[in-house]
Amino acid sequence: MTSAALPMIGFMAGSLALTAVGSSAQAACPIQLAIYGEAQSGAEIDFTPTGTSATITNTFRMILDNNVVLDGIAMWTEGSAARPHGSLMYKCPTGDVTGEELAACTVWEGVIYSADEKGTIGLLPAEGAGAPKSLILPDLGPSLEMSAAYGPAGFSKVPWDTFVLKGCQE
């Protein structure tokens, strides 16, 4: 081996080490810091720590084109068929709101599913667990297209139902 080849081998080894660190950092990302993206529309889901809520297990926001932001939460239902029930809201009033007011600003509701790198389907994990490879929000696109957030004064690119893990907040 020539001495000229040694720097190249060192560079390749360093690159592989950085790739491995990046992969493990993404794999070790907790769900409350995960960032997901949807390729078709460019929409993004950013999770944030929920805090001390007794009922809300996940808090996130969906960022659509034209800087439209939807606020999201997930609450686990109780019973033998417990599921993470997600809601996306658009311009909801703050403070003490009625069920009717909340229903009027909710643009999507449903179970949030996850998928791992092998394609195994699961449920959205609660805070503290590792972020899954993908999230699936069934019927997201049709619901958003019928919402007040869509159209000339809102967003124009309708996202598909699947979002892929693209990073981790620091």
Cβ contact 19:89 at 8 Å = no
What string of pLDDT tens digits covers the 170 residues of the chain? 555 544 433 433 343 333 333 344 444 899 999 999 999 999 999 999 998 777 888 999 999 999 999 999 999 888 888 899 999 999 998 888 888 988 999 999 999 999 999 999 999 998 999 999 999 999 999 999 999 999 998 999 999 999 999 999 97
Using only C-alpha atoms, the chain has a radius of gyration, in whole angstroms, of 20
Confidence (pTM) = 0.80
User: Hey, which residues does 86 pair with through a beta bridge?
Assistant: 74, 110
**Strand ranges of the sheet holding 58-63, from the earlier edge strand across to the other edge:** 106-111, 84-89, 69-76, 58-63, 44-48, 34-37, 162-168, 134-136, 113-115, 121-123
Single-letter code of the amino acid located at 57: T
User: Residue 22 has what DSSP assignment?
Assistant: H
How far is Cα 161 from Cα 159, in angstroms, rounded to an integer?
7
